[in-house]
Structure 1
């Protein structure tokens, strides 16, 4: 017969879970800081969580990402696509300025077949780049990926398991606003220059509004 946990065991387990989540939040904050400072290239999943691109600059992130793909790990067509993407990013203005048209064109021209990217991370990263440059279809795809990742993640191991939910909602709202005249971006989000800033503002607002409303539902 399975043992029934005592109240003390439950309390201790909850306390440990809180400590684990606090440690996970601290580690996540360190990873975000490392990406923002330009010392560590964020993973595709971390970009879905809202981590900044390397050094806060898509241009730098793209070049570092392409350089991190091992030689011979992708087929010739994929390798040529990635080189063209890196070249487009390198030709963009330094200091954070990005020629979005040229980089988006290179992203849309990327041909990475599944055998060269069995887990999909290369293609996902390219879609995230396109979304960060304002592509509506890519933004909606990122919204779906964030929602799916939120669904399958180990919530008890995450510092904040809701982060992906807010990111998914933010990307969906942003992507929809880019598709047509149904709804426009609200002020002051419409005044923000960078897509990453707009997504973070959306996500923060979703989090704030839901957290304020939850006590009324209890």
Structure 2
């Protein structure tokens, strides 16, 4: 075969700039249609699966919102899980911060498009939120100072890292956090890029 496919669970060890020719097969989703429009929302939604390796990213997302006085909710976690209890203790979180029960991300976002200003998370969560038109804040376990809003201008370079900034190199200028600019909301609509590059139907056509 005259091509190489790169799929790895050790993304932080890969020097993409010096890798040479490679083809990454990204996750696919049923992209659907965008449902989000700005209507004065102020609350952020943090979505995460219940796994230990997500804890520091959850902490960073909480701290990002807290330092900017952005109200937030956390979805995708059991109210009585050990991780939920750790977060409650660490940040003195009220019980109503947690959206109750497991959620279907796509359906939850579609139903609550008028409630949330942006979605914070990594990987598949941001594919589904971005396809729905939500502004997406890409998290990092290095802390709240290593976040980036995905835009039409930087989303392509984040595909190779599977929309994950777990171990960003210092030289990557796009990982430095910048606050959302309300005068440029169109830039945060990455739904076209996701439908083009991550849609199941697009993959089937090819």
- The two structures have a TM-score, normalised by structure 2, of 0.30
Q: Which of the pair is proportionally richer in helix?
A: 1
- Structure possessing the higher radius of gyration over alpha carbons: 1
Q: Which of the pair is proportionally richer in strand?
A: 2
